[in-house]
Amino acid sequence: MSYNVVTNMKIMGAVKKSPNFRTNLGLVNTVEKNGDRVYNDRDKFAFFYNHRYKTTIYGQGNVGDIMFYIDHYIKKDQIAFYKESEEFIFDYDPVMVMDKGINFYLGHLLKEIETKLDSKVRDAEAKRLEKLKKVHDPTKLMKNPGQVTYEDLEAYMQQKRGNL
């Protein structure tokens, strides 16, 4: 799955020093349709970003399948990763980049994102399993027959048979 990264000009300068960085200026931001200038929707991520933040981003290039963009309105030293519509914002760490290099730093951030996504999937699975393990009340048939579910009836029948 591909990532999109949006950051400011200063951090993009560091990213461009990567030996794996390839310049790719992307698509033109606006096109003419029926005599009007409208935002180009062929670059899906730039179109999504424009509608979400009401600002234009400019394609700079890529490292593998990670596309990099500049947003001139980002003043803080932050780097934002997007995987589909999920957003992950990190503060830029120039010390780590200086010590270990930009490739290590980007890999570190990607690993952190994958860890967060994995934990989110595990949490969703745990909630789903918890719903399935919901204990059914065999006494509900006698206490409140209006809210009896099929599972409650099944639990009552098992209790009556002596299986419970």
Q: pTM for the full model?
A: 0.74
The strands making up 78-83's β-sheet, listed across from edge to edge, are: 22-23, 58-63, 66-70, 3-7, 78-83, 86-91
Domain ranges of the chain: 3-130, 135-161
Tell me which of 40 and 103 has the higher pLDDT.
Answer: 103
More confident site: 37 or 134: 37
pLDDT digits (tens, 9 = 90+) for 127-159: 887 776 666 777 777 777 777 788 878 888 888
Give 145-154 contacts, CB < 8 A, sequence gap 24+.
none
